[in-house]
Amino acid sequence: MTELLFLQDAYQREHRCLVTAHTPEGGLVLERSIFYPTGGGQPGDSGTIHWQSGQLKVATTVKGHDGAVVLLAAEPGCLPPVGAEVFQDLDWDRRYRMMQMHTALHLLSVVIPLPVTGGAVGSEKGRLDFDMPDAPPEKAGLQSDLNALIAQDLPVTDSWISDQQLLDNPQLIKTMSVKPPVGAGQVRLVQIGEEQARIDLQPCGGTHVARTGEIMPLLVAKIEKKGRQNRRVTLRFTG
């Protein structure tokens, strides 16, 4: 099992650790990872792995067997040997924009308090699909409300509850299509706002900014009808 450093500190950009395994597909498994693996609508991280005799460009990161995080090379080549010390160098600019967008999508689910049927996080744009039979408010109004929450500079924190506690509190689950990250005995909750004045609390295994004020101004780019009851709202950074 890989130790998930990105859950302990999403701002960690570099780290030294040991190689624990290679996968049959040519992936690299490390004892600890600052690279986030694809999941929950958020793409896997990219970056570079350095070791004494070479380096490897990481195209993406995925989940492997038994809790392993697998780094996949951008091109075929030599891998550092098992047991070697390597230096992880995250593509920080890409990750940070996805942290901003992921938190922004949580805010969007506050502005539109309806069940979420799907979603995707990107470094330039992101979207949520809602169980929304009727047309939503105008884009300008949604955008104004969303950016107002960003401007409040609300804290974003996390905590953990047991799988059973989540089962006992199903109202925490906003997503209808993506299952919360359960199975390990505990579930991570991401909260926006102070405890006595929080505006959002939901299960999430992704990476987020520490405060909403870090999110760049956003544009509600599109609102599309997707089926009889589904509407897709797409956000894009203005900068």
Q: Report d(CA 60, CA 128) in Å as an integer.
A: 22
- Position 161 scores a pLDDT of 78
Alpha helices (runs of H) in the chain, residue ranges in sequence order: 5-8, 92-111, 139-151, 163-168
Q: Which domains does the chain have, with CATH numbers?
A: 3-90 (2.40.30.130), 95-237 (3.30.980.10)
Position 107 pLDDT exceeds 50: yes
Position 46 pLDDT exceeds 50: yes
Mean pLDDT value of segment 206-231? 93
Share of the chain above pLDDT 70, in %: 93
Q: Residue 155 corresponds to which tokens in the numbers above?
A: 């804290």
Please state the pTM of the whole predicted model. 0.92
Could you tell me if 52 and 35 are in contact, meaning their C-beta atoms sit under 8 angstroms apart?
A: no
